[in-house]
Structure 1
Amino acid sequence: MTMLGPILFTLATATAPAPADGAGLQHRDQRAAFRARQQGRILPLREIEGRVLPTMRGSQYLGFDFDTDRGIYTLKFLRDGTVIWVEVDGSSGQIIGRTGN
């Protein structure tokens, strides 16, 4: 039996937020990103994704968070049981940090 299944299950359940809290936080991130985009302070999410996703071949894109105060998108990926976070400056589209593989 492969170990990948139990590892992915553990990872998914350990990092999954409670539905009520997680849904509210993600919705707030989306609203904040929308407002910043409307004000011209950041690039559209689709443009950020268009720059980053091609560099993450072999990974599953899990979604994003947006830090309103810093104007930073954090895109989350899963590859070989490892979660990878890619931080992108929302105003320039430049990758400024990465954790994981």
Structure 2
Amino acid sequence: MRNEYKLGLLLAALAGGSVLPLVAAAHPPHARVQDEVYRGREQGRFMPLRAIENRIVPRMRGFDYLGPELNFAAARYRLKFMRGEQVVWIDVDARTGEIVARSGF
């Protein structure tokens, strides 16, 4: 009985191993956000992040710039700043570079 149990486990492992590649092949990987942003920039839909940062970061004197996040669906960058314990987010339209929201002030 013990050998039959081991054989069953081995067969289950082999069967599972052969099914996983099929499942992975059935669901192609999603496009990376960076790829979508690149295509958006190339098509003129998004401003380069560097240009947006060059507009916004100098306005935030006294704050440390921690970096961006992208909400691709809304076409917005959220730039994060910090001064002491105060955290501030500046939401910027990725198409125009205009500030659309601020929080944390």
Task: State the TM-score, normalized to the length of structure 1.
Answer: 0.67
Within 2, Cα distance between the matches of 1:29 and 1:86? 20
Q: Is the CA contact (8 Å cut-off) linking 1:29 and 1:65 kept in structure 2?
A: no
Instruction: Deviation per CA, 1:16-36: give whole Å up to 9, x if none.
Output: xxxxxxxxxxxx544432232
Q: Which runs of 5+ in 2 are unaligned?
A: 1-31
State which structure, 1 or 2, has the greater radius of gyration over its C-alpha atoms: 2
Within 2, Cα distance between the matches of 1:36 and 1:44? 9
Q: Structure 1 runs of 4+ off > 4 angstroms? A: none
CA RMSD of aligned residues (A): 1.3
SS of corresponding position for 2:36:
helix
SS of corresponding position for 2:102:
strand
Q: Which runs of 5+ in 1 are unaligned?
A: 1-27
Within 2, Cα distance between the matches of 1:68 and 1:32? 8
Within 1, Cα distance between the matches of 2:91 and 2:33? 15
Within 2, Cα distance between the matches of 1:30 and 1:61? 20
Instruction: Deviation per CA, 1:44-77: give whole Å up to 9, x if none.
Output: 0011001100110111110101111111010001
Partner of 1:79: 83
- Report % sequence identity: 45
* Higher RCO (C-alpha 8 Å, min separation 6): 1
Matched, 1:51 2:51: no
Equivalent pairs counted in the alignment come to: 74
Within 2, Cα distance between the matches of 1:90 and 1:60? 21
Within 2, Cα distance between the matches of 1:29 and 1:82? 29
Task: State the TM-score, normalized to the length of structure 2.
Answer: 0.64
Q: Is the CA contact (8 Å cut-off) linking 1:32 and 1:66 kept in structure 2?
A: no
